[in-house]
Structure 1
Amino acid sequence: MPLFRGSLPCSAKGGIKKKRRRKAGWVERDAEGCSPSLATLCLWSLAENMKDFWTRDYAEKYMDHYTFRYIMGPFNILPGELVEDLLSLLSSRHSMTRAALHLLLVPQVRCLSLSSCSSLVTSSICSLIGIRCQALQSLDLSGAQHLSALVLSELLGQLTRLRSISLTGTQCDDRVLRTLGTSCPAVQHLNVSCCHQLSPTSLLHLVPRPSGHDGLSLRSLQALDIGLESRESYRVGVAIFLLLSMPSLEKVAIEGLGEACALMESQDFGVLDDFTLQNEVPDLWELWSNRIQGEQSGACEKAVEKECLDDERIEGWLSESEDYDEDEIEQQNERDNTGMWKDKGKSKPYSNSLEELESSGVTGGKTGEGERALGGSLTLSLREAQGVSCSSVRALGLLCPDLCSLSLHCEEGLVGHLAAGLGQWKGQFFSLSVQFTGVLPEILPAVGVVGSSLHTLILEGVRVDSDASFLQLLRSCPKLKTLSIHTEPPNINEEEEEENDEHDIQGLPCLPQLRVLSLKFFMEQQQKKPLMTWSSLKWATLSLLGSSPFLEKASLVAMPCPMDAVFQKVLDGRLGSPEASRISPLHNLQHLNLAYCNISTKTASRLVIHENCLSTLDLSGCWNVSSENIVQLQMKATKRRHPLTILWR
């Protein structure tokens, strides 16, 4: 078997020393301001130098001349975690090449994400992954649109230890899902969003069949924007069937999720009889009753076990296997009580379960108070949900009391339903994403209900009509770590303010824990620059940038206010309050996007030479910056202690 051994050319040693002396001054810091570890510094140096030596040598002498099952080189002796970090570093810097990928596909890799370099993922690369990386537990091939379903199916058939798979935007079809069910039983996280070869009923291949595979015990399933279904009721039926057949689901993003919860809350499963007959799945009422019976029996077993244990044994049990025992009991209940497919010509495994419940007086039949009592005892394990509308938030809350993250579309006339529904999770909600085309004041009460505990807030399409509503939004969410607002520029006619009006920023809200900030204003396609219709926005922006010491990424696109005054005051440290003035401005900022903003070359130059961790500066569409200015900025960037990429077009 041919092996590749990399060696350093002797003539290049001087070049290495010179490059190391020039870049030895790089000192990056993490979010807490601490210096990086020695391993991190070595990875940065390795990433900078590998393309000039190992990858070039391999590409010129071996890559297209031989086919290696295994490679003996400088990377196969590294621990798997370091190889994964190196893969991530090259991908984030857009420095990944085919030769580098060949060298880094080593057996010790456990997590492989190629979404940032999906153009490099070919059938031959997939073949190498299947041969070399048998121990893979996490694989992300998002965006690899040119891979056929046959190649994906063959690859997944070789990686039997996978626990997490992302195939977003690929040609994944029914055959791939069947392969997952038969060859990858350990998969717990699956993302097949934007796979248009799939339909909602294709997801039924993930649940158990009486003959064939045992199905998957998924904890996370994302399948938004997949192919259309011929009947709308099938979409809801699939959602109900998945929720009842997979009790371990904690994160779900599927079409019809909200309608499924509403139908389960009303227990009107008769409207889906056609779905169960055409797809040969168990009666949904039968599946519902078996799920509840399993939960009740499991609860009884736990209660009896708890009574039999004395305090001393409880303490020992908790110290040795706190998580294991509960997980085992839950998994056993799932195996005993979850979804069964219809097998024509054979008796149903659960054919008498409903009759037994009725005879014991638990249900009181399929109607009336007994049915409601049965329905009220079922709770889903969902903690994150996507694909919900405002009208179904109440039903979602009844079935999912532990929910802490929600992404939904809100109609203008149903905002009141959203505020009432979110109240069910007050104090425990961490993430909220809302698509809403109304004005901001209308949705403020709903955000305020859960705002005190929110870490992530995303608003898309909302229209901002005044300073007051925007500032009220910031005040209602003091713990935000991620704030993203995509909106249209407001029609606000303001008088021009004095640039030296320092008292205007006093008392403005600040988000001290903010790490990601995105304020993007929509522009018409033919529009070259935004209208400066909201000049006072610069004060709120100044407060957000200057009073967020952990800020790592800021995207300020098509801002309807001049940005020079904002950054000049931030860089000068003149933030108007003693508390803010003690904070080092933009200390941890790594990515800054100022596309289509009114910013001058002077301010851009200050950002380039500023002592920070900035690695990407996007000045696309900035009409005050010319190509000559970009050349000058890039020359200044070469003198930085930290490498900087400047984007401009």
Structure 2
Amino acid sequence: MRKRRIIRSLEKLCLENVAMHMKRLWVKVYSRYAKLARNRDHDAITGPFSMLAGSLLQELLEIMRERKFLTPSILHILLLPQLKSLNLNYCSSYVGNTLAHTITVRCKNLSSLALRYCYRIHADALIELVKALPCLTKLNLSSTQCNTQVLSTIRTFCLKIEGLDIDKCRKLSSESLLHLVYDPVAGSYGCQSLQRLRAEGLTPTTDFQSSLLLLVFVLLALPKLKYFFHDLVPQAICLIYDQEFHGARMPAGFPSLEEVARYRTSTHPNEESGRFTLPLRKINFIPLSLLPKIGAVCPHLLEISMILRDIWNLDQHVLPWHGLTHLSLGTDQRMDLKELLPVTANIGTQLKFLKLNGFIFKDEFTLHTLLSHCPNLLTCVLFLPSPESNGHQSQPQNEARARNLCLPPLQFPELVNFCLESHEFVTPLPSLYKLVLGNILESVFKYSPCLEILHLFCLPCSLDEAFQKALKPPSTALQCLQELELARAQISIRTIDLLIFSENQLRLLSLEKCFHISRVDYNELLRRVRKENLEVIIMRE
């Protein structure tokens, strides 16, 4: 039988109690402090939490944020000097210039600050905020009023910055990025410790080629940049490979690309034959035609994603990346999954993350073979059309093969997250496909001892047999399972009972549009869970 509800630690219970009574009790206590010190600076009043350790204060703030309890008054109480990390993402309704000023005055020791969607903070207030936080290593200003002057301030005052998110800042363009990495007044390069930069969704420039050249400047000027998220990164890398810098015009006050290239060479004297290499670890949406050049410039890539329209020599292109661990491939051309087998045969054992989207599989055994190449996955995400959408019909010889088939089990000793979704909800599934898919699911359930997250959406076959076989006593399957999401699943209440009341760590169960489970059975299940005092959230809609 599963464990009952976990008894929270005294520390956690105290923090949750404080959160529940913050508005009714602690705001009043704070107001009393304010009245007693009416002649003092309002921002100097710390209230009853000034002695709380920074880690506990951060946890209390996170509880308040998750439960949507935060208000300007509450934030004013909890914004204290001992905070090292502050997450105000999605708090745009009450985070404005006044609270930004309070952070500026009180929270000078912050190393991480997240203000995503806090659009009410004006650019001038962001500038003052950044000036007051020299210890920042991570800063999220996505979807804010961040402008070019804010980036210049970050370059000048945040000398330790390692991660910056400026996605969807409409007051920024690609040209603004130059002010992040170079000071035209001092004639010096900045943000030399920056390792992660998100700059997608900025205001586009009218000149595509100029945008590419600006990104080349950024890539060459930041020696430690490992993650750069921008739509044009693959094309900019190819310009670096070609070294077509002559005559490239930069805005007034900035060095030419040839000068930046010489700066790069001076900081990387060991680069072979004048070829530049970048420390990038991840690139998204790489066109297949650009792979050879990207491979030459970025030999240390760990993660790539591609939209494929053909797979010509793909396995040979990815072979040089001996460290590649994350592979995401999609197609809008209904390509056959079988064409990926040479790729997984070559690099499958090194993959930790695999995502496939839109591939059909005409041969019933292709998916099983492909997964057998990838035993060391931590995450596997498969969005596949139903085999029926190929026009493939069940044949008598296939029925006979299905009756006699015995596939070896797949084993995933490190798998933590598995998602399988069929694009088209089609039933019934041909017998041979059904058997192969059932074997794959049973293997995932039985031979993935670390599995925590399982998502199965719109699969055109019953899930009962695979689950019941895996959980048949004395099974140890799914003991680490924490989250199970089923959508349009053909599954019975008997199997759900087996999952709920088996030995596992299940905390969340979603049964969206599982029409084989009646409302009566669902309500009875909820009643039994409450009676047994199990810590699991069950949702149907």
> TM-score, normalised on structure 2?
0.83
Distance 1:204 1:101, change over 3 A: same
Which residue of 107, 110, 132 maps to 1:136? 110
Q: Is the 8 A contact 1:172 1:195 kept in 2?
A: yes
Alpha carbons of structure 1 residues 112 and 286: separation in structure 2 relative to 1, 3 Å: same
The Cα offsets for residues 498-555 of structure 1, whole Å up to 9 and x where unpaired, read as: 9xx99967512121100111223335xxxxx654545342331221122211111122
Name the aligned partner's letter for residue 317 of structure 2: G
* Residue among 427, 431, 434 paired with 1:535: 434
SS at match of 2:525: helix
1:482, distance to aligned residue in structure 2 (A)? 1.0
Q: Which residue of 2 aligns with 1:648?
A: 540
Residue matched to 1:593 = 485
Match of 2:359 among 443, 457, 462: 462
Query: C-alpha separation between the residues in 1 aligned to 2:148 and 2:155?
Result: 11
* Structure 1 partner of 2:25: 57
| Alignment match, 1:516 | 417
Does the Cα contact within 8 Å between 2:484 and 2:508 map onto a contact in 1?
yes
Report the equivalent of 2:190.
Answer: 215
Aligned equivalents of 1:488, 1:468: Cα separation in 2? 15
Question: CA 1:494–1:27 in structure 2 vs 1: closer, same or farther (change >3 Å)?
Answer: farther
Q: Which residue pairs with 2:70 in the alignment?
A: 98
Farther-moved stretch of structure 1 (219-228 vs 229-238): 219-228
2:455 paired residue among 532, 545, 555 = 555
Query: What is the distance in 2 between the residues matched to 1:625 and 1:62?
Result: 52
**Structure 2 unaligned spans of 5+:** 35-41
Deviations 1:604-640 (A, max 9, x none): 3433333422222222222234555544433333345
- Paired residue secondary structure (1:535): helix
Contact 2:410 2:447 in 1 (8 A): no
Say whether 1:423 aligns with 2:319: yes
CA distance in 2, matches of 1:570, 1:144: 48
Number of residue-to-residue matches in the alignment: 515
| CA contact 2:356–2:381 (8 Å) conserved in 1 | yes
Aligned counterpart in structure 2 of residue 190 of structure 1, from 164, 170, 182:
164
Q: Distance in 2 between matches of 1:264 and 1:158?
A: 37
Q: Spell out, residue by residue over 1:81-131, the C-alpha distance to the aligned partner (whole angstroms, 9 max, x if none).
A: 34444555666xx4342157666544322223344x546662255454444
**1:560-604 deviations in Å (ceiling 9; x for gaps):** 222222333333358xxxxxx4xx222222222112322333333
Aligned 1:167-246 pairs, distance under 5 A: 167-211=141-185, 215-217=190-192, 218-246=194-222
Residues 5-62 of structure 1 show CA distances to partners (whole Å, capped at 9, x for unaligned) of xxxxxxxxxxxxxxxxxxx96449xxxxxxxxxxx73454345544444454236776
Q: Percent identity, please.
A: 27
175 and 637 in structure 1: CA distance in 2 versus 1, 3 angstrom threshold: farther
8 Å contact kept, 2:19–2:63:
no
Tell me what 1:435 maps to: 330
Paired with 1:379 and 1:54, the residues of 2 have a C-alpha distance of 53
Whether contact under 8 Å (1:135, 1:159) holds in the other structure is: yes
Q: Is the 8 A contact 1:265 1:375 kept in 2?
A: no
C-alpha contact 2:355 2:380 (8 A) present in aligned 1: yes
RMSD: 3.6
Residue 346 of structure 2: aligned partner = 449
Q: Distance in 2 between matches of 1:78 and 1:61?
A: 16
CA distance in 1, matches of 2:448, 2:23: 40
> Among 276, 279, 283, which residue is 2:256 paired with?
283
Q: Deviation of residue 142 (structure 1)?
A: 3.3
Is the 1:532–1:562 Cα contact (8 Å) retained in structure 2? no
Note if 1:603 corresponds to 2:495.
Answer: yes
Counterpart Cα distance in 2 of 1:384 and 1:549? 29
User: Where does structure 1 differ by over 6 angstroms across 4 or more consecutive aligned residues?
Assistant: 63-68, 495-498, 501-505
1:609, 1:636 within 8 Å by CA — same for their partners in 2? no
Report if aligned partners of 1:423, 1:449 keep a CA contact under 8 Å in 2.
Answer: yes
Q: 1:567 to 1:184 in 2, by over 3 A?
A: same
What displacement does 1:198 show? 3.0
Which residue of structure 1 lines up, in the alignment, with residue 293 of structure 2?
395
Contact 1:389/1:409 (<8 A) preserved: yes
